[in-house]
Structure 1
Amino acid sequence: MYRKDLQRLLGGDYLPNFFALYGADNFQIELFANSIKDKFKSDEILSVYFDEYDYETVHNYISHSSLFSDKKILEIKTSKKLPKKDIENLIKICKQDKDKLFLLELYDEASKQTELEKIFENNFARFFKPANAKEAVELLSLKAKIENIKATQNALYLLYENFDENLYLCAAELNKFKNLSIDENTVKEHCFSLSVSSFDSFFEKMLQDKDLASDLEKIIENFNEIALISALNSNFYRLFKIVLYAKINGKVDFKDIFGYTPPPQVANTLQNQAFMIRLSQYKEIFFLLLNSEYELKTKAKLSKKEFVIAMFLNLKKILKA
């Protein structure tokens, strides 16, 4: 089924007690996983993150009766395909006991998972990236409802626009207004925007080894860590493409590199930034960012603020080397 079908299902009385979520939008997977868990209503849950998966551990948990609640939930978040036999056995246990819920969240943004859908007997939902701002705001409305936030449509549209159409960043901002009412003025007054221009300014300061203390504090306090790493990765990769093209062709042709020609001032800035960094440094930077994203996604108990600060210190060290 698709998002609309799942929304209808969640609005009814019946909810399957084994379910799979996957697709091209991790934000929606997380959003609807939380909705399913809320609807099932259990005080006991085992959440297994990525490389923590161990069949014997999860099987022992879901196969035994709960000591603390009438119901129990097994939630597995993974980016890798689990053995078919494992999934079938976990589903079999849930079929025998309706007070147990097995929720599988597959974070690989892969194409259609035909085999997975068959195993879950149509108890699955596949998600796509929002096609437009209207769909994105619908999702933010769901998030606001979950957090008991009364938000006007204009407030949500402004939030989506201000945060560069990044749902993770928008959701992080909404969390600040739990149990409150917000409108456009609330967003303007209390939401620090990581717009394209402000991030470009922050990125340029970092390359020039300027003091980032105040900017970094605001970003860490207000924004999703994965989205921040993604933005850094995109900016460095854009510069890396310029350097690589120049190494191969002996010149820089933005039309050929990006498919369009930026304004002269922007093109000059990008070219200067690109050649400030050596190829060996690019390699270290990409390794650091990828490793940091992996650590954030796989270690649930990580102190995220301290981790991100440490990452930036390492990044600064690489750029100064």
Structure 2
Amino acid sequence: MVVPAQGLPASVRIHEVGARDGLQNEKAVVPTEIKAEFIHRLAEAGLTTIEATSFVHPKWVPQLADAERLFPLLDDIEGVALPVLVPNERGLDRALALGADRIAVFASATESFAKANLNRTVDESLGMFAPVVARAKEQRVHVRGYLSMCFGDPWEGAVPVHQVVRVAKSLMDLGCDELSLGDTIGVATPAHVRSLLAALNEEGVPTSAIGVHFHDTYGQALANTLAALQHGVTTVDASAGGLGGCPYAKSATGNLATEDLVWMLQGLGIDTGVDLGRLTATSVWLAERLGRPSPSRTVRALSPDSHKE
């Protein structure tokens, strides 16, 4: 039943991260052809932004070592943005050589995670990203800045809002077009979300440039998303079937499931352009190939037979 609520956006763009963030933590390597079909199915379900892969060194994320083989298999997808993650200038070179026109860099709001993920301090990592962003903008490539540990860090605990704002503002000052706020270990709550968004606005980061990326560790991802929507955010990251975590933050559980997000947004009368039935079927299809049920509650509710033991 659709019951629209006051003060919410008319439409939301879902930034689908299942093929990259969702699969990167899988222990068994997923065949390139399966990844390509997964992305095609996501596009056919109506998703217009699908993060395809990452050009990191294969040593660090073996699951995504096939980026050069995968990306050309997506050439026939039309009208869909296919951003890729790049860690440094070498990664940018690889992405540009394949014609990527949207990239993302991945920063941390905390020193502990910057060290664990990038083996650099926060400021050193920003220095590494500066030429990447500058070169990308010279090539008219859209740049997204991911910022992880925006609400809590497994080593440092709660992260002060002003600390997040400083790094977020630095990313935008480098020239990023878009900022994704990551609740990497899923500890955010709605008032914390509203506080951070308001603080970013005060420092000149417009809501229109902000996306949110919630994990569901404590079951708060949808509540936090609703808080962001009430603030005016219209870009929400999600992962088909609820796949994903973070290989460098062991307490991070799955991303917000795209199906759960679409169910809520549809109920609020917010347009996503996504066919929930086709999306659910896609997650069931992938779950069968991964050999385990989807953690998404909506997938389980709409496809109960696929989850019988």
TM-score w.r.t. the length of structure 1 is 0.28
- 1 or 2 for the larger relative contact order (CA 8 Å, sep ≥6)? 2
TM-score w.r.t. the length of structure 2 is 0.29
Higher gyration radius (CA): 1
